[in-house]
Amino acid sequence: MFSSELRHLFSSNWLAILITATFTIGCGDPVDESSTDLEENPPVVEPGELDDSNLTGAQNTQSTDETEINVDSTSFNIAKDASPDQVIKQFLAAMKDGDKPIVAALLTEKARIETSKHNLVVQPPGSPSAQFKVGKVETVKGGAYVNSSWSEIPPGKTVAREFEIIWVMKNQKDGWRVAGMATRITPESSPTFLNFENPEEMLSRIESAGNPSESAVEVAGN
């Protein structure tokens, strides 16, 4: 069993919401069966290194617009053939805007079912000061990786802090959806793969990374 403190994280801060929720335009290419397999621990790109030279074997499926994206929930309409980075743009915009229905809708069906079984609720609080960029996409056998960065000004601070996340995507019947993420639980830790489709394993990895409340707060401020 996991502590009530750990479960509380899933309604109290941004990284936890990404974990439980987590928690574009043009046609996405189908998964190339001859490419590499979907790995359990995709490499996390260091801050400021979202470029072609740092993604060996990556397939840039389209020209990526790295501007801040805002999405109105009333216009939520992602085509089945939307590319992985298009889906992530709308996912992160929904996280910023605190749009629970969109965030939940962009998880894989299995992630929604399994997190619900573990009483993990998607409750994005919204962060108007936040900005995000979506980087390169790498399609692999079984899914895709989407690089991104997120920055926001921590409470009581004046300077924004930034951290990097690689989103793990799967292509299901309604299109590309978020199955997990790879990031650092704390700035000092090694990158950790968090599988939203296996909450028990995910929570265990978070707990083993150190004090969960301190870790989440610190990363949320990055």
Q: Is the pLDDT of residue 87 over 60?
A: yes
For the chain, which residues make up each domain, given as ranges?
4-30+45-220
- The pLDDT value recorded for residue 142 is 83
Percent over 90 (pLDDT), the chain: 21
Chain centroid to Cα 22, Å, comes to 6
Tens-digit pLDDT profile for residues 94-136: 888 888 889 889 999 999 899 888 777 676 767 888 889 999 9
Length of the chain equals 222
Distances (CA, A) of 75 to 15, 64, 90, 93, 175: 26, 21, 11, 12, 17
Tens-digit pLDDT profile for residues 17-49: 444 444 322 333 333 333 445 655 555 443 333
175-183 vs 192-195, strand pairing mode: antiparallel
Model confidence at 16, pLDDT cuts 50, 70, 90, reads very low
Higher-pLDDT residue of 10 and 206 is 206
Chain centroid to Cα 31, Å, comes to 19
Ranking 64-73, 106-115, 171-180 by mean pLDDT, the lowest is 64-73
Provide the H-helix boundaries in 46-108: 84-97, 100-105
Q: Is the pLDDT of residue 159 over 90?
A: no
Q: Is the pLDDT of residue 220 over 90?
A: no
Q: Is the pLDDT of residue 79 over 70?
A: yes
Task: Tell me the CA end-to-end span of the chain in Å, nearest whole number.
Answer: 29
Q: Which of 108, 106, 101 is nearest to 124 (CA)?
A: 101
Domain 4-30+45-220 class, CATH top level: alpha beta
